[in-house]
A and B are shown apart, each in its own frame.
Chain A
Amino acid sequence: MTNSHTPTLRLILPLAAVVVFAMLLTFSLIRMFEIENAMRVDAEQNMLWVLHQSEVAALRLSETVALADLGEATRDDLSLRFDLLVSRFVLLNDGPQRRFLEHTGFGDDLDRLSATLDSIAPMIAEFAPGDGAPLRVELAPFPRLFGRAANAAMMAEWDELGGRLETYRDQLRQIIASLIGIMMAGGILAVILVLALRQTRQRNRMLRRERDFSALLVSSSGEGILAVDQSTRCTMWNSAMTQLLETSGEDAVNQPLDRIAGFFDTTPVREGIKSALQGETSRHMLQPLFRKDADEPLYVDLRFFPMRNEEDILGAILFINDASDRYAVQQKDAQDRDRLEYLVAERTRELDDALLRERSAGEIYRNFAAMISHQFRTPLAVADSALQRLIRRGLHAKPDEVVERADRARNAIAGLTRLVESTLDAARLDAGQMGARRVECDLGEIIRTVCARQRETTPTSKIDLRFDIAGSVAAFCDPAHAEHILENLLSNGIKYAAPETSVSVVLHADAQWLFCDVSNTGHSIPENERARIFDRNYRGANSVGVVGTGIGLFMARALARLQGGDVTLQPDVAGVTFRMTLLRFKGGQT
C-alpha cells in the first residue's frame, strides 16, 4: 500500500509547490503593475502650487494698484499684473483645475470672482492715480479665496496622498507576503530537487555498477555475443565474437550485420534476427559457419533474443556458441549408428536367405519322391523294357540285337543319371547354390536325342519334328538343363495330347534367340490357370487323373531362366504351345 502511495505523494508535493509559486508570482506581478500604473497617473496634480501662484498674482495686482495710486507704477505695469491674474483664472477654469475646485466646493466662489474680474477690467484700463481704493476693495476677496482654497487643496492632496500611500502599503504588504510564500515554495522545491538529485545520483551509480558488471560478463563470456539495433546495425561485439569470426570490434560495430560476414546473410541468421526484432526468442542448433581461409566450417549454436526497454524493442542479441566438438561427436555417433544398422541389415538378410534356403531344401526333400516318380520313371521304364526283351530272347538273341538292347538300356540309364544330376542341380538351384554351366551346344542334336528317347519311352506317340531355321542352331546353354526342359515339355505335351494326335516340335529363331515350340492339340488351358501353371506343385484342372507332381513346369522355367532363357505358354491358337527360349551362341560369350 505504502509503495503505491509514496510516488504519488512525491509527485503531488512539488507540483503543489510549483502551482503555489506560479500563483503567488502572478499575484505579486499584478499588484506591482497596479502600483506602477497608479504612480504614473496620479502624481501630476499640483493644485497647491497653482493656487499659491494665483494668490501671489492677486497680491501683486493689489500691490501694483497701490503703487499706481501713488504714481509709482505705470499703466503698463498694472495691465501686465491684471493679465497675469486673468491668465490664472483661465488656468483655474480649465478642465482638471476647475474639476478640483468644484470637488472641494469652491466652484461658485471662482465664478463670482471671475465676474468681479470682468467688472474691474475697465477700471484697470482707465486707471488714474486716486482710483486705487475701490479697486483694492474689489480685489480684497481674491487672496482670501485662494488662501482658503489652498488650505483645502493641501488637505485634499494630503488625504489623497495618505490614502494612496496606504493603498501602496497594503499592496506592498501583499507583495511581501507573496514573496515570503514564493520563497517558501522555492525552498520546498529546492529541497525536493536536492533529494531528487541525490536519489538520481544513487541510481546512476547503481546503474553504472550494473552496466560495468554486464560489460564484464559480456567481454569475459566464452560465447560470442553481438547486439544489433532495429536497422540490424551492430551495436555490440565481444571478444569471443572477434575470435569466432576473425573480425575486430572496431570493424564490426556500427556496420550493417550482413556486411560484417557472409554468415550473417544466411537464412537462419536473417530469420532469427527478424523474429527477435519482432519480440520472439529463437534458436538454431549446429549451423555451419565458414570462416575465411578455413576448409572446415565451425558448427555453432545460435540463440536470438529481443532487447527490450519497457514495451519497446530496441534491437536483438545473438549468442553464438562454438559447438564443433559436439557436432563431431554427433557425426561420429551417426556414422556408428549407420554402420550398425547396415551390419544388422546385412546379417538379417543373410539370416533370411539362410532361412529361405533351409525352407527350400526342406521343400525339395519333401518333393524328392514325387520328382522321382514323375521324372525318373520314364528312363527306368525304358531300361527295364530293354533288359526284359534281352532276358526274353535269352540265347536266341543275336549279338547285334544284344548290343542294340544293351545300348538302349544304357542310354536310358545314362539319361537317368543325367536326370539325377539335373535334379540335384535343381535342388542346388533351389538352395541357391547353383548356376548354369553355359556352353556352346547343338540344340538340334539335343532335340533329336530327346525326341528319340521319348519315342522309345512311348512308342505309340507321334512326334513331328521341324526345323524352321537356316544355318547354325548353336545355343548358349547348359545342355543338361536344356534336355531336362525339353523332356519335360515333350512328355507333358504327349501326356495331355488328345488321343491319336501328334505332338509337334518346331525349332525357329531370330537374330538373338532360339525358340523351340512344343505344341499339342489337347484341351486349351483356362485363362485363370495360365498365370499359375508355372507355380511349384500347381496342377491344372485337366491334370486330374493324370500322374504328376506339378513340379515339372516350375523346374523347366527355373532352369531356363537360370541360363538366360525362358519357358512361356504361348497364346492359344490351336491346342497348347509351350515355348522354350534360349540364347543363340554368338561366340565369345561366357
Chain B
Amino acid sequence: MFIKVAALACGSMLASSATSADQPALSLHVTGQFAKAPVTLDRAALDDLSAVTIETSTVITDGTHSFTGFLMRDLLDHLGATGTSVTAVALNDYSVEIPMVDFYDYDVVVATHMDGKALRRADKGPFWIVYPRDDHRVLQDIRFDYRWVWQLYQLDVQ
C-alpha cells in the first residue's frame, strides 16, 4: 500500500508540478549553525532553487545518466548556512561528513530525478548527492565515491 502510494506520488510529480504540494514524502531536514535552524524544506521551498541537470556515470550503475535537482551550494546559500562541513544522513542511518569546499569546488547536485524520472524511496530517493564525476578526474576516487549519499533525508551543517 505504501509502495503504491509512493508510486502514485512519483507519477503525479512527473505529470504536474502543481500536484507536488500533495507529496509529504519529499522533505529535507537541515540542522546546524544557522539562523533558521533547524528547518524542514518541503517541495515548494526546494522548487524555489534553480534546477540543474548534470550528465555523469556512477560506480554502481552502467553507462552515464542525467541527474536533475539543485546545487548543494545554492541550498546552503539560500539558508545562509556557513561552516566547514556538512554531515549527510541517509534513511538507513548511513552518514558521511562532507567538507564544505566540495560544494564550492564542484557542482555537487542534490538530485531528485534520474534520467527524467523521480527518485523513489525504494530505489535511491528521495535525494541523491551526485558529484560531477566525469567532469573531474580527481572525483574518480573511492574517497569521493562514499560521499554519494542516496536516500538522503537530513543535513547537519557544522
Residues of A near any B CB (own CB < 8 A)? 40, 43-44, 46, 53, 56-57, 60, 75-76, 79-80, 82-84, 86-87, 90-91, 94-97, 121, 124-126
Q: A40-B140, A96-B62 are in contact. Are A87 and B122 (CB under 8 A)?
A: yes
From B60, B92, B123, A56 is in contact (CB under 8 Å) with B92
Contact with A along B81-122 (1 / 0, CB 8 A): 000000000011010000000000000000000000000111
Asked if A44 contacts B142 (CB within 8 A), the reply is yes
Q: Measured between alpha carbons, how far is A44 from B6 in the docked complex, in Å? A: 32
6 other A-B residue contacts (CB within 8 Å) besides A84-B91, A95-B60: A44-B142, A57-B92, A83-B2, A94-B60, A95-B62, A125-B1
Considering only CB atoms and an 8 Å cut-off, how many residues of chain B contact the other chain?
A: 23
Q: Which residue of A lies closest to B151 (CB)?
A: A87
From B3, B62, B124, A125 is in contact (CB under 8 Å) with B3
22 contacts between A and B (CB under 8 A): A44-B142, A46-B142, A53-B94, A79-B2, A80-B121, A82-B3, A83-B2, A84-B91, A84-B92, A84-B121, A84-B151, A86-B122, A86-B123, A87-B122, A87-B124, A90-B123, A90-B124, A95-B60, A125-B1, A125-B2, A125-B3, A126-B1
Q: Which residue of A lies closest to B90 (CB)?
A: A84
Q: Measured between alpha carbons, how far is A82 from B91 in the docked complex, in Å? A: 12
Q: A75-B2, A76-B2 are in contact. Are A87 and B142 (CB under 8 A)?
A: no
Asked if A44 contacts B1 (CB within 8 A), the reply is no
Please indicate which of the listed interface residues B1, B63, B94, B120 has the most CB atoms of chain A within 10 Å of its own CB.
B1
Asked if A87 contacts B121 (CB within 8 A), the reply is yes
Residues of B near any A CB (own CB < 8 A)? 1-4, 6, 59-63, 91-92, 94, 120-124, 140, 142, 145, 150-151
Q: A82-B2, A125-B2, A125-B3 are in contact. Are A87 and B123 (CB under 8 A)?
A: yes
A40 CB contacts on chain B under 8 angstroms: 140
From A76, A83, A91, B3 is in contact (CB under 8 Å) with A83
Interface of B is mostly: loop
B63 CB contacts on chain A under 8 angstroms: 95
Q: Measured between alpha carbons, how far is A86 from B151 in the docked complex, in Å? A: 12
> Nearest Cβ distance between residue A524 and chain B, in whole angstroms?
141
> Nearest Cβ distance between residue A504 and chain B, in whole angstroms?
150
Q: A56-B92, A90-B122, A90-B123 are in contact. Are A97 and B3 (CB under 8 A)?
A: no
Asked if A94 contacts B61 (CB within 8 A), the reply is yes
A75 CB contacts on chain B under 8 angstroms: 2
Q: Measured between alpha carbons, how far is A265 from B59 in the docked complex, in Å? A: 89
Q: Measured between alpha carbons, how far is A124 from B120 in the docked complex, in Å? A: 18
B140 CB contacts on chain A under 8 angstroms: 40
Asked if B60 contacts A121 (CB within 8 A), the reply is no
A56 CB contacts on chain B under 8 angstroms: 92
> Nearest Cβ distance between residue A115 and chain B, in whole angstroms?
16
Asked if A83 contacts B1 (CB within 8 A), the reply is no
Asked if A96 contacts B2 (CB within 8 A), the reply is no
Asked if A91 contacts B122 (CB within 8 A), the reply is no
Q: Measured between alpha carbons, how far is A186 from B61 in the docked complex, in Å? A: 49
From B1, B60, B151, A96 is in contact (CB under 8 Å) with B60
Asked if A53 contacts B92 (CB within 8 A), the reply is yes
Asked if A44 contacts B2 (CB within 8 A), the reply is no
A95 CB contacts on chain B under 8 angstroms: 60-63
Q: Measured between alpha carbons, how far is A462 from B123 in the docked complex, in Å? A: 183
Q: Measured between alpha carbons, how far is A87 from B123 in the docked complex, in Å? A: 4
Q: Measured between alpha carbons, how far is A76 from B62 in the docked complex, in Å? A: 32
Q: Which residue of B lies closest to A86 (CB)?
A: B122
> Nearest Cβ distance between residue B93 and chain A, in whole angstroms?
9
> Nearest Cβ distance between residue A60 and chain B, in whole angstroms?
8
> Nearest Cβ distance between residue A67 and chain B, in whole angstroms?
17
Q: A43-B142, A44-B142 are in contact. Are A91 and B92 (CB under 8 A)?
A: no
> Nearest Cβ distance between residue B111 and chain A, in whole angstroms?
15
> Nearest Cβ distance between residue A40 and chain B, in whole angstroms?
7
Asked if B60 contacts A97 (CB within 8 A), the reply is yes
Q: Measured between alpha carbons, how far is A43 from B62 in the docked complex, in Å? A: 17
A125 CB contacts on chain B under 8 angstroms: 1-4
Asked if A83 contacts B122 (CB within 8 A), the reply is yes
Q: Which residue of A lies closest to B92 (CB)?
A: A84
A87 CB contacts on chain B under 8 angstroms: 121-124, 150-151
Please indicate which of the listed interface residues A82, A87, A90 has the most CB atoms of chain B within 10 Å of its own CB.
A87
> Nearest Cβ distance between residue A150 and chain B, in whole angstroms?
17
Q: A44-B142, A96-B60 are in contact. Are A121 and B121 (CB under 8 A)?
A: no
Q: Which residue of A lies closest to B137 (CB)?
A: A40
Asked if B122 contacts A44 (CB within 8 A), the reply is no
A43 CB contacts on chain B under 8 angstroms: 142
Asked if A121 contacts B151 (CB within 8 A), the reply is no
Q: Which residue of A lies closest to B146 (CB)?
A: A46
B145 CB contacts on chain A under 8 angstroms: 44
Q: Measured between alpha carbons, how far is A464 from B79 in the docked complex, in Å? A: 175
